[in-house]
Amino acid sequence: MKIEGRAKSLTIFIGESDHYHHQPLYKALVEKFREKGLAGATVLRGIEGFGKASRIHTASILRLSEDLPIMIRVVDTEEKIRSVLPVIEEMVTEGLVTLSDVEVIVYRAGG
């Protein structure tokens, strides 16, 4: 079965060392998104990147890997995405959030 339609994509860029109440921030956000009933969330760990301070963060074995870039991606309805923006504002003290209109195609087994 194939389902197609319009949706909203939420992407959050934070650092691996960011925490919320003694827990990695990315884990706390994913748990909160699950509690709020979002369709799903994916956490990607970058191997290299830089942010507003222009400091390179890398996973290179020649350098200590500290505060690697983390990207959290969620795709759901605009209503559900907008409902978690206050949660993000409360939990994220430093980072970048982007919202995009997307077209989704979902493939499901069966009829």
Q: Rounded mean pLDDT of 67-81?
A: 94
Do residues 108 and 1 lie in contact, with contact meaning Cβ atoms separated by under 8 Å? yes
Provide the residue type at 60 as one letter.
S
- The residue ranking higher by pLDDT, 110 or 6, is 6
- Report the alpha-carbon distance of residue 46 to residue 54 in Å, rounded: 16
Phi/psi class of residue 66: alpha, beta or left (left: φ > 0; alpha: ψ in -120 to 50)? beta
Q: How confident is the model at residue 67 (pLDDT cuts 50, 70, 90)?
A: confident
- The residue ranking higher by pLDDT, 48 or 81, is 81
Of 14, 26, 5, give the one whose Cα is nearest residue 98. 14
In this predicted structure, what is the pLDDT of residue 59?
60
Taking 90 as the threshold, does the pLDDT of residue 73 lie above it? yes
- Report the alpha-carbon distance of residue 41 to residue 73 in Å, rounded: 6
Sign of the CA dihedral with 20 first, then 24, 17, and 47 last: negative
- The residue ranking higher by pLDDT, 62 or 13, is 13
Structure pTM? 0.85
In this predicted structure, what is the pLDDT of residue 81?
98
| CATH code reported for the domain at 2-107 | 3.30.70.120
- Those residues with Cβ within 8 angstroms of residue 63's Cβ, 6 or more apart along the chain or in another chain: none
